[in-house]
Amino acid sequence: MSSTTTDNASSVDVVLIGGGVMSATLGAFIRQLQPDWSISIFERLDNVAEESSDAWNNAGTGHSALCELNYTPQLADGSVDISKAVGVNESFQISRQFWAYLVEQGIIANPRDFITPVPHMSFVWGEQNVSFLRKRYEALSAHPLFAGMEYSEDPAQMAQWMPLVMQNRPAGQKLAITRSLNGTDVNFGALTRLLFGYLASTPACTLHTKHDVQDITRGSDGRWRVQVQDLRLNTQRTVSAKFVFIGGGGGALPLLQKTGIPESRGVGGFPVSGQFLRCKNPDIIAQHHAKVYGKASVGAPPMSVPHLDTRVINGQRALLFGPYAGFSTRFLKHGSLMDLPKSVRGNNLGAMLAVARDNWALTKYLIQQVMQSNNDRMNALRDFVPDARPEDWELVTAGQRVQIIKKDAKKGGVLQFGTEVIASQDGSVAALLGASPGASTAAPIMLTVLKKCFADKLPEWEAKLKIMVPSYGQTLANNPELCTQLRDKTTDVLKLKD
């Protein structure tokens, strides 16, 4: 979706920077909660959802920790810690509730335009990994958020669940698998376009593509001055806003730094790129219907867990394997090689050097990934598809992810995986930094933005928020009845039963 709107309002209530799923989600929340506020949205590219939100720039997993083994680390005593998995699943349930509300309101006409039921599976081999998966299953399956999860070490059962993965697999391997039919594939690009389409149709909301935000400064009146360049007309203007949200993915850090807020000091970014193998053979695509996740290599970042994914993009089935991590100094797929060097400041240099010093395993892993040949990539794929042939697969480049680097009193600096909202003390500006699980948790992340930035409005908004997100203010993990009730309801509204 592009916009040629000529609305040049010089003063608005809200500016949203970035045409991705985060800005779209926050915009939808604000429009429902405060329909009288004026909103201007600025996106640098020709259309919205062309960076990390685009369907081909991410794996499309509805991240709910049903299959992602990195959310359930094994502790020194051999037990499996499921606390992060519970948190990730709960967050995804909030997103599901919000999406269901949008469907019920007619804002999204057909949920199958962006979300599809796809089984989520964890697949491991080797005695030690099988033992881990069994313990993981025992811990998760007892929890209401993971009800219905299945486990098997039977090759015949596995061949039914994932025939492509088991076809011509060497005999004698010790294998194990878990399966959940509550899994989903999400086209975040389609969701983003649906949300922006809704926003652009409402009064006092304008969407400006091909508009590059170049500076954000604070005026003497306390409002933010957002300097924007129209890349079509090569003209500049300044928009005054009460509240600014910087949701431009990897591009958020440089803009956050421009605000000069104290909270931005000491924050840096570490970019990680990714590639996938995409299947070109329709016969092979038709043999697989699941997202099958394995275990990550030692030193690999969390977003590099290998997985074989059924995708449903614009109604068409597809099959991806990856990701293969890489390194680029760009913060965005369509960014500049100078993004990383320009992000270095006196206040974050120490933290960035400390992270470089302490993360040799990650550095070594990324170098190995960059140096891989196509034969190396095919060998990794054959762990999941033993019969894989190079002629059936093509390499595609996914989106850039920028991990957060923050100052640390003990280490000097730490590399954080996940997402974080950084806001000014008065709540007038906020930025979202980080990556996975990212888009899947857009709704709960934006609730965090609302709490941090509009605390004075929350009492007024609370009743509406409970309609939009029925579990708002409660924890599903501690309320099995509500958990089951809301999961059943969102399954029905979002048409998540095959």
Question: pLDDT tens digit string along 312-363?
Answer: 999 999 999 988 877 778 878 888 888 788 888 888 778 778 777 877 677 6
pLDDT digits (tens, 9 = 90+) for 196-233: 999 999 999 999 999 999 999 999 999 999 999 999 99
Q: Give the pLDDT confidence score for residue 436 in this predicted structure.
A: 67
- Who contacts 234 (Cβ-Cβ below 8 Å, separation ≥6)? none
Region 263-268: what's the mean pLDDT? 89
Q: Give the pLDDT confidence score for residue 279 in this predicted structure.
A: 98
168 falls within a domain: yes
3 falls within a domain: no
- Asked if 136 and 80 touch (Cβ cutoff 8 Å), the reply is yes
The full length of the chain comes to 498
Residue 486: domain span: 10-494
- Asked if 39 and 26 touch (Cβ cutoff 8 Å), the reply is no
Burial environment of residue 158 by CB neighbours within 10 A (0 to 12, 13 to 18, 19 or more): buried
Of 325 and 158, more confident = 158
367: confidence class by pLDDT, cuts 50, 70, 90: low
Region 469-474: what's the mean pLDDT? 97
Predicted structure pTM score: 0.93
78 falls within a domain: yes
Q: How many domains does the chain have?
A: 1
pLDDT for residue 466 is more than 80: yes
pLDDT for residue 496 is more than 90: yes
367 falls within a domain: yes
Region 42-68: what's the mean pLDDT? 93
4 falls within a domain: no
Region 483-496: what's the mean pLDDT? 97
Beta-bridge mates of residue 101: none
6: confidence class by pLDDT, cuts 50, 70, 90: very low
Helix (H) or strand (E) holding 365: helix 360-370
Give the CATH number, domain containing residue 100.
3.50.50.60
83 falls within a domain: yes
Structure tokens at 406: 């923050």
302 falls within a domain: yes
pLDDT for residue 123 is more than 70: yes
pLDDT for residue 242 is more than 90: yes
Q: Give the pLDDT confidence score for residue 5 in this predicted structure.
A: 46
| Range of weakest confidence among 140-154, 412-426, 477-491 | 412-426
5 falls within a domain: no
Q: How much of the chain exceeds pLDDT 90, in percent?
A: 72
137: confidence class by pLDDT, cuts 50, 70, 90: very high
**CA 67 → CA 121, 188, 273, 294, distances in Å?**
5, 19, 22, 8
- Asked if 154 and 99 touch (Cβ cutoff 8 Å), the reply is no
Structure tokens at 151: 């486990």
Residue-averaged pLDDT of the chain = 91
| Range of weakest confidence among 91-100, 331-340, 426-435 | 331-340
The amino acid that residue 53 corresponds to is S
Region 474-496: what's the mean pLDDT? 96
Q: Give the pLDDT confidence score for residue 7 in this predicted structure.
A: 54
406: confidence class by pLDDT, cuts 50, 70, 90: confident
